[in-house]
């Protein structure tokens, strides 16, 4: 696999100050804090070794919405006022307001530079049903699925709904029931018995989200990271295959436990022609969803070599167990270099 080369462009200010922003109030808060800590540590290493001449501060958003900044605890408005032209926000937020486009919109309105995709792309990719439509338009297949709202899950039509959901999986492999706007596999259930479908849907609806029901595709879960900007140095990173150790699928424990899934990159169980098509599909997803800087696209590959996209992540995890850094490493890019590249890409935003 050829190494990635960091191209020119995105010249930093004379003294770049980076706020690594993590925390927030979503169910993925703890993962976000771990991502933020890892990024801040990497940027401090880069500064200490002379690879980067900036300064880095860890900034935590509390569950109540306060920003814990170098200037103390500030409201969001006051935090934005404290940011100047020399600042870049490195967003290590996962889920909720930090990833769904609302914070990105506020940062843009304030003229603050930040890493990752813009408001519209962030909102789109947080909505799994909407993302499925874009993927299909780009020629990227998705599993059979159906969005369920509270109105359609109640009353005399419930039996009709149940039959429609059952029909999504004619081979009887099962169904995944997931929050339409969730992440990190929080709240996702693998259902094998049709009688458990509507209760699983009800649990998601009771959380305040809509439920996306997708047919389970038996196969190998893989992920492909993308770096760059449409029309510039866009490139797909090596594919990583995910081998759960104690579960049938890549659930929360498999993602973050020390005894969780084994991730292999480059993949050992994906044929070269399938791997090439996966990486091209990831590029199409990145461009179709108008992602900026970086994203990660998750897929299932069946035994026959068919693949189906599951979701597009606009702020992939950056923890010690996360997939994007693993893929970057397989391409020859260190974790520190990856963080510096994401900063460079942020500076290319007009």
- Tell me the three state secondary structure of residue 181: coil
> In terms of DSSP H, where are the helices of 50-155?
76-82, 102-109, 119-126, 128-137
Listed in order, the ranges of the chain carrying CATH 3.40.50.20 are: 17-116
Residues 70, 61 contacting (CB under 8 angstroms): no
Tokens of 195: 């009688």
Write down the pLDDT at residue 160: 87
Q: Write phi, then psi, for 39 (nearest 5 degrees).
A: -65, -45
Q: Going residue by residue through the chain (350 aa), what tens digit of pLDDT does each one get?
A: 433 233 345 666 668 999 999 999 988 899 999 999 999 999 999 999 999 999 999 999 999 999 999 999 999 999 999 999 999 999 999 988 999 999 999 999 999 999 999 999 999 999 999 999 999 999 999 999 999 987 666 665 788 899 999 999 988 889 999 999 876 567 789 999 999 999 999 999 988 889 999 999 999 999 999 999 987 789 999 999 998 876 766 666 666 666 777 899 999 999 999 999 999 999 999 999 999 999 999 999 998 889 999 999 999 999 877 999 999 999 999 999 999 999 999 999 86
Distance (Å, whole) CA 135 – CA 346: 25
Distance (Å, whole) CA 300 – CA 222: 6
Instruction: Write out the DSSP string of 187-201.
Output: T-EEE-SGGGHHHHH
Listed in order, the ranges of the chain carrying CATH 3.30.1490.20 are: 145-215
Write down the pLDDT at residue 249: 67
Per CATH, domain 17-116 is 3.40.190.10? no
The CATH code belonging to domain 124-141+218-334 is 3.30.470.20
pTM: 0.90
- The CA angle 120-123-127, to the nearest 5 degrees, is 140
Listed in order, the ranges of the chain carrying CATH 3.30.470.20 are: 124-141+218-334
Residues 219, 274 contacting (CB under 8 angstroms): no
- Architecture in CATH of 145-215: 2-Layer Sandwich (3.30)
Residue for token pair 């890409």: 345
Instruction: Write out the DSSP string of 243-307.
Output: E-SSSSS--HHHHHSTTS-EEESS-SSS-HHHHHHHHHHHHHHHHHTT--EEEEEEEEE-TTS-E
Distance (Å, whole) CA 267 – CA 203: 35
Give the torsion sign (CA, 216, 221, 224, 225). Answer: positive
């Amino acid at each position: 696999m050829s190494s990635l080369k960091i191209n020119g462009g995105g010249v930093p200010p004379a003294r770049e100050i980076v706020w690594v922003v993590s925390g927030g109030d979503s169910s993925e808060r703890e993962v976000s804090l771990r991502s933020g800590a890892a990024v801040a540590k990497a940027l401090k290493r880069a500064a200490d070794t002379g690879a980067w001449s900036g300064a880095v501060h860890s900034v935590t958003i509390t569950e109540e919405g306060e920003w814990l900044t170098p200037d103390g605890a500030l409201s969001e408005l006051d935090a934005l006022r404290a940011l100047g032209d020399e600042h870049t926000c490195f967003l290590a937020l996962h889920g909720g307001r930090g990833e769904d486009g609302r914070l990105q919109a506020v940062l843009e309105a304030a003229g603050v530079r930040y890493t990752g995709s813009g408001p519209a792309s962030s909102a789109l990719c947080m909505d799994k049903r909407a993302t499925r439509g874009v993927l299909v338009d780009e020629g990227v297949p998705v599993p059979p699925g159906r969005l369920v709202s509270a109105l359609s899950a109640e009353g005399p039509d419930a039996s009709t709904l149940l039959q429609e959901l059952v029909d999504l999986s004619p081979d009887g492999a099962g169904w995944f029931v997931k929050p339409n706007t969730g992440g990190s596999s929080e709240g996702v259930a693998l259902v094998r018995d049709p009688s458990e479908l509507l209760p699983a849907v009800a649990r998601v609806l009771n959380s305040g989200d809509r439920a996306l029901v997708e047919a389970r595709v038996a196969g190998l879960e893989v992920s492909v990271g993308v770096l760059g900007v449409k029309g510039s140095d866009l490139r797909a990173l090596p594919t990583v295959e995910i081998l759960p150790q104690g579960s049938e699928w890549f659930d929360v424990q498999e993602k973050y436990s020390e005894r969780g899934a084994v991730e292999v990159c480059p993949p050992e169980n994906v044929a070269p022609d399938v791997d090439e098509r996966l990486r091209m599909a990831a590029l199409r997803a990145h461009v179709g969803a108008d992602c900026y800087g970086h994203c990660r696209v998750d897929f299932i590959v069946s035994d026959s070599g068919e693949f189906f996209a599951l979701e597009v992540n606009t702020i992939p995890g950056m923890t010690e167990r996360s997939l994007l850094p693993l893929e970057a490493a397989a391409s020859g890019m260190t974790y520190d270099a990856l963080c510096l590249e994401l900063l460079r890409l942020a500076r290319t935003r007009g």
